[in-house]
Amino acid sequence: MYHLLKAMHFRQYCQKKSKPPFNVLAAILKLSTKYIVDELREEVINTLSAIFSSRLTAWIDHSVRYTPADLDAMYSVELAKKFEVPIILPAAYYQAVSQLSIRTMMRPDSSMASNSIRWTCAVFREELMSMIYQLIDENNKGATIFSTRDKYNNWLCEADECYSLLDSYKCGTETKLRRLTCSDVFKPTLGLATDPDFCEAFRLRVDQHWRRLQDNSWNRLPSLCGFKDWAVVRTAQAALKSSNEQ
Protein backbone atom coordinates (compact mmCIF):
# COMPACT_ATOMS: atom_id res chain seq x y z
CA MET A 1 0.00 0.00 0.00
CA TYR A 2 2.87 2.32 0.79
CA HIS A 3 4.39 1.74 -2.65
CA LEU A 4 1.03 2.29 -4.36
CA LEU A 5 0.42 5.57 -2.59
CA LYS A 6 3.96 6.70 -3.23
CA ALA A 7 3.68 5.75 -6.89
CA MET A 8 0.36 7.57 -7.31
CA HIS A 9 2.04 10.68 -6.03
CA PHE A 10 5.34 10.07 -7.75
CA ARG A 11 4.49 8.57 -11.10
CA GLN A 12 8.13 8.37 -12.02
CA TYR A 13 8.73 6.08 -9.05
CA CYS A 14 8.10 2.93 -11.06
CA GLN A 15 9.56 4.15 -14.37
CA LYS A 16 12.68 2.53 -15.72
CA LYS A 17 14.72 5.74 -15.43
CA SER A 18 14.20 5.72 -11.65
CA LYS A 19 15.72 2.21 -11.53
CA PRO A 20 13.03 0.78 -9.24
CA PRO A 21 13.86 -2.47 -7.43
CA PHE A 22 11.95 -5.56 -8.56
CA ASN A 23 10.07 -5.99 -5.28
CA VAL A 24 8.63 -2.49 -5.73
CA LEU A 25 7.51 -3.27 -9.29
CA ALA A 26 5.90 -6.52 -8.13
CA ALA A 27 4.05 -4.72 -5.34
CA ILE A 28 2.84 -1.94 -7.64
CA LEU A 29 1.68 -4.43 -10.28
CA LYS A 30 -0.37 -6.33 -7.70
CA LEU A 31 -1.95 -3.27 -6.13
CA SER A 32 -2.57 -1.29 -9.34
CA THR A 33 -4.31 -4.34 -10.84
CA LYS A 34 -6.32 -4.99 -7.68
CA TYR A 35 -7.44 -1.39 -7.25
CA ILE A 36 -7.76 -0.79 -11.03
CA VAL A 37 -5.32 2.10 -11.25
CA ASP A 38 -4.86 1.68 -15.00
CA GLU A 39 -2.31 4.41 -15.67
CA LEU A 40 -0.04 3.12 -12.96
CA ARG A 41 -0.48 -0.46 -14.14
CA GLU A 42 0.56 0.59 -17.65
CA GLU A 43 3.56 2.39 -16.20
CA VAL A 44 4.74 -0.66 -14.30
CA ILE A 45 4.11 -2.93 -17.32
CA ASN A 46 6.30 -0.60 -19.40
CA THR A 47 9.13 -1.02 -16.92
CA LEU A 48 8.62 -4.80 -16.71
CA SER A 49 8.73 -4.85 -20.53
CA ALA A 50 12.17 -3.24 -20.38
CA ILE A 51 13.28 -6.10 -18.12
CA PHE A 52 11.61 -8.87 -20.13
CA SER A 53 11.65 -7.52 -23.64
CA SER A 54 9.46 -8.82 -26.42
CA ARG A 55 12.06 -7.82 -29.01
CA LEU A 56 15.39 -9.52 -29.53
CA THR A 57 17.16 -6.25 -30.43
CA ALA A 58 16.17 -4.80 -27.04
CA TRP A 59 16.98 -8.04 -25.20
CA ILE A 60 20.60 -8.03 -26.35
CA ASP A 61 21.08 -4.27 -25.93
CA HIS A 62 22.01 -3.63 -22.32
CA SER A 63 21.57 0.11 -22.75
CA VAL A 64 17.87 -0.59 -23.42
CA ARG A 65 17.31 -3.57 -21.17
CA TYR A 66 16.86 -3.02 -17.45
CA THR A 67 17.92 -5.59 -14.85
CA PRO A 68 17.16 -4.75 -11.22
CA ALA A 69 19.60 -6.33 -8.75
CA ASP A 70 16.82 -8.17 -6.91
CA LEU A 71 15.18 -9.59 -10.06
CA ASP A 72 13.29 -12.87 -9.52
CA ALA A 73 12.53 -14.17 -13.01
CA MET A 74 10.61 -17.25 -11.90
CA TYR A 75 8.34 -15.12 -9.73
CA SER A 76 7.88 -12.81 -12.72
CA VAL A 77 6.36 -15.74 -14.60
CA GLU A 78 3.91 -16.10 -11.72
CA LEU A 79 3.10 -12.37 -11.78
CA ALA A 80 2.64 -12.38 -15.56
CA LYS A 81 0.11 -15.20 -15.33
CA LYS A 82 -1.73 -14.04 -12.21
CA PHE A 83 -1.98 -10.36 -13.14
CA GLU A 84 -2.29 -10.85 -16.89
CA VAL A 85 0.89 -9.43 -18.40
CA PRO A 86 1.41 -11.76 -21.38
CA ILE A 87 3.92 -9.39 -23.01
CA ILE A 88 6.63 -10.29 -20.47
CA LEU A 89 5.84 -14.01 -20.26
CA PRO A 90 8.13 -15.51 -22.97
CA ALA A 91 11.25 -13.61 -21.88
CA ALA A 92 10.50 -14.12 -18.17
CA TYR A 93 10.22 -17.87 -18.74
CA TYR A 94 13.39 -17.85 -20.78
CA GLN A 95 15.33 -15.83 -18.21
CA ALA A 96 14.08 -18.02 -15.35
CA VAL A 97 15.18 -21.28 -16.94
CA SER A 98 18.37 -20.15 -18.66
CA GLN A 99 19.93 -18.75 -15.51
CA LEU A 100 19.01 -21.57 -13.13
CA SER A 101 19.55 -25.32 -13.12
CA ILE A 102 16.56 -27.55 -12.34
CA ARG A 103 18.08 -28.25 -8.93
CA THR A 104 18.31 -24.53 -8.11
CA MET A 105 14.83 -23.89 -9.52
CA MET A 106 13.39 -26.34 -7.00
CA ARG A 107 15.25 -24.90 -4.01
CA PRO A 108 12.80 -22.89 -1.84
CA ASP A 109 15.20 -19.96 -1.36
CA SER A 110 15.87 -19.46 -5.09
CA SER A 111 12.59 -17.65 -5.79
CA MET A 112 9.29 -16.42 -4.34
CA ALA A 113 7.46 -18.47 -6.98
CA SER A 114 4.93 -21.12 -5.97
CA ASN A 115 5.66 -24.81 -6.48
CA SER A 116 3.28 -25.07 -9.41
CA ILE A 117 5.12 -22.24 -11.23
CA ARG A 118 8.45 -23.95 -10.51
CA TRP A 119 7.12 -27.08 -12.18
CA THR A 120 5.79 -25.08 -15.13
CA CYS A 121 9.25 -23.54 -15.52
CA ALA A 122 10.90 -26.96 -15.33
CA VAL A 123 8.65 -28.16 -18.15
CA PHE A 124 9.43 -25.00 -20.14
CA ARG A 125 13.15 -25.70 -19.67
CA GLU A 126 12.83 -29.21 -21.10
CA GLU A 127 10.76 -27.95 -24.03
CA LEU A 128 13.18 -25.12 -24.73
CA MET A 129 16.11 -27.53 -24.84
CA SER A 130 14.39 -29.86 -27.27
CA MET A 131 13.25 -26.92 -29.40
CA ILE A 132 16.82 -25.63 -29.64
CA TYR A 133 18.01 -29.13 -30.46
CA GLN A 134 15.53 -29.25 -33.32
CA LEU A 135 16.40 -25.74 -34.55
CA ILE A 136 20.14 -26.52 -34.57
CA ASP A 137 19.36 -29.49 -36.77
CA GLU A 138 17.19 -27.39 -39.14
CA ASN A 139 19.78 -24.60 -39.22
CA ASN A 140 22.56 -27.01 -40.18
CA LYS A 141 20.44 -28.61 -42.90
CA GLY A 142 19.80 -25.25 -44.53
CA ALA A 143 23.38 -24.04 -44.15
CA THR A 144 25.51 -23.87 -47.25
CA ILE A 145 28.41 -22.59 -45.17
CA PHE A 146 29.08 -26.02 -43.73
CA SER A 147 29.39 -27.92 -46.97
CA THR A 148 33.12 -28.36 -47.62
CA ARG A 149 35.41 -30.24 -45.28
CA ASP A 150 39.19 -30.27 -45.25
CA LYS A 151 41.27 -33.45 -44.90
CA TYR A 152 40.93 -33.27 -41.10
CA ASN A 153 37.14 -33.16 -41.42
CA ASN A 154 36.94 -29.49 -40.37
CA TRP A 155 34.90 -26.88 -42.24
CA LEU A 156 36.69 -25.14 -45.08
CA CYS A 157 35.99 -21.65 -46.42
CA GLU A 158 34.52 -22.32 -49.85
CA ALA A 159 35.42 -18.94 -51.34
CA ASP A 160 39.19 -18.96 -51.07
CA GLU A 161 39.96 -21.86 -48.70
CA CYS A 162 41.46 -19.29 -46.35
CA TYR A 163 40.61 -21.16 -43.23
CA SER A 164 39.14 -24.27 -41.66
CA LEU A 165 36.65 -23.86 -38.85
CA LEU A 166 37.26 -26.60 -36.29
CA ASP A 167 34.35 -29.01 -36.21
CA SER A 168 34.90 -29.44 -32.45
CA TYR A 169 34.38 -25.67 -31.99
CA LYS A 170 31.10 -25.73 -33.91
CA CYS A 171 29.87 -28.81 -32.02
CA GLY A 172 30.97 -27.31 -28.70
CA THR A 173 28.86 -24.20 -29.32
CA GLU A 174 25.87 -26.36 -30.29
CA THR A 175 26.22 -28.47 -27.14
CA LYS A 176 26.29 -25.37 -24.93
CA LEU A 177 23.15 -24.08 -26.64
CA ARG A 178 21.23 -27.36 -26.36
CA ARG A 179 22.10 -27.80 -22.70
CA LEU A 180 21.51 -24.11 -21.88
CA THR A 181 24.99 -23.92 -20.39
CA CYS A 182 25.97 -20.73 -22.20
CA SER A 183 24.97 -17.68 -20.16
CA ASP A 184 22.49 -16.48 -22.79
CA VAL A 185 21.44 -18.27 -25.98
CA PHE A 186 20.88 -14.83 -27.55
CA LYS A 187 24.14 -13.09 -26.68
CA PRO A 188 25.57 -11.34 -29.74
CA THR A 189 29.06 -12.79 -29.25
CA LEU A 190 27.84 -16.37 -29.58
CA GLY A 191 30.04 -18.33 -32.00
CA LEU A 192 31.51 -15.05 -33.23
CA ALA A 193 34.20 -15.63 -35.82
CA THR A 194 36.96 -13.39 -34.52
CA ASP A 195 39.94 -15.31 -35.89
CA PRO A 196 42.01 -12.92 -38.03
CA ASP A 197 42.71 -15.73 -40.51
CA PHE A 198 39.09 -15.79 -41.66
CA CYS A 199 38.44 -13.87 -44.86
CA GLU A 200 35.65 -11.29 -44.47
CA ALA A 201 33.17 -13.35 -46.49
CA PHE A 202 33.67 -16.46 -44.35
CA ARG A 203 33.51 -14.50 -41.11
CA LEU A 204 30.20 -12.97 -42.19
CA ARG A 205 28.75 -16.32 -43.15
CA VAL A 206 29.74 -17.95 -39.85
CA ASP A 207 28.18 -15.05 -37.93
CA GLN A 208 25.02 -15.21 -40.03
CA HIS A 209 24.75 -18.92 -39.29
CA TRP A 210 24.51 -18.35 -35.53
CA ARG A 211 22.40 -15.21 -35.88
CA ARG A 212 19.84 -17.19 -37.88
CA LEU A 213 19.67 -19.82 -35.14
CA GLN A 214 19.24 -17.12 -32.49
CA ASP A 215 16.49 -15.37 -34.47
CA ASN A 216 14.60 -18.61 -35.00
CA SER A 217 14.92 -19.52 -31.31
CA TRP A 218 13.64 -16.10 -30.23
CA ASN A 219 10.74 -16.23 -32.69
CA ARG A 220 9.68 -19.59 -31.32
CA LEU A 221 9.77 -18.63 -27.61
CA PRO A 222 6.05 -17.63 -27.50
CA SER A 223 5.05 -21.05 -28.85
CA LEU A 224 6.44 -22.59 -25.64
CA CYS A 225 4.04 -20.59 -23.50
CA GLY A 226 0.78 -20.94 -25.35
CA PHE A 227 1.04 -18.23 -28.02
CA LYS A 228 1.47 -18.81 -31.73
CA ASP A 229 4.05 -16.04 -32.14
CA TRP A 230 5.11 -12.61 -30.86
CA ALA A 231 2.35 -10.85 -32.81
CA VAL A 232 -0.26 -12.86 -30.88
CA VAL A 233 1.47 -11.99 -27.58
CA ARG A 234 1.35 -8.28 -28.44
CA THR A 235 -2.29 -8.49 -29.53
CA ALA A 236 -3.17 -10.23 -26.24
CA GLN A 237 -1.48 -7.47 -24.23
CA ALA A 238 -3.12 -4.71 -26.28
CA ALA A 239 -6.55 -6.34 -25.85
CA LEU A 240 -6.09 -6.30 -22.05
CA LYS A 241 -5.23 -2.65 -22.15
CA SER A 242 -8.27 -1.64 -24.18
CA SER A 243 -10.63 -3.80 -22.08
CA ASN A 244 -9.36 -2.00 -18.96
CA GLU A 245 -10.00 1.36 -20.54
CA GLN A 246 -13.63 0.63 -21.35
Number of residues that bind Zn ion (CB under 5 A): 6
Contact pattern for Zn ion over residues 179 through 208, marking x by CB under 5 A: --------------------x--x------
- Residue nearer to Zn ion on the CB measure, 38 or 160: 160
Q: Which of 115, 121, 102, 98 is nearest to 217 (CA)?
A: 98
Q: Which of 66, 50, 60, 51 is nearest to 218 (CA)?
A: 60
Q: Does 162 bind Zn ion (CB under 5 A)?
A: yes
Binders of Zn ion in range 102-131 (CB under 5 A): none
In 83-199, alpha helices (H) = 89-99, 102-105, 115-141, 167-178
- State how far the Cα of 206 lies from the Cα of 150, in Å rounded to an integer: 16
Q: From the CB of 143, what's the least distance to Zn ion, in Å?
A: 16
Interacting span for Zn ion (CB under 5 A) from 84-92, 129-137, 154-162, 164-172: 154-162
| Other beta carbons within 10 Å of 36 | 9
| Other beta carbons within 10 Å of 183 | 10
Q: From the CB of 148, what's the least distance to Zn ion, in Å?
A: 11
- State how far the Cα of 201 lies from the Cα of 149, in Å rounded to an integer: 17
- Residue nearer to Zn ion on the CB measure, 200 or 245: 200
Q: Does 42 bind Zn ion (CB under 5 A)?
A: no
Q: From the CB of 202, what's the least distance to Zn ion, in Å?
A: 4
Interacting span for Zn ion (CB under 5 A) from 69-77, 80-88, 112-120, 153-161: 153-161
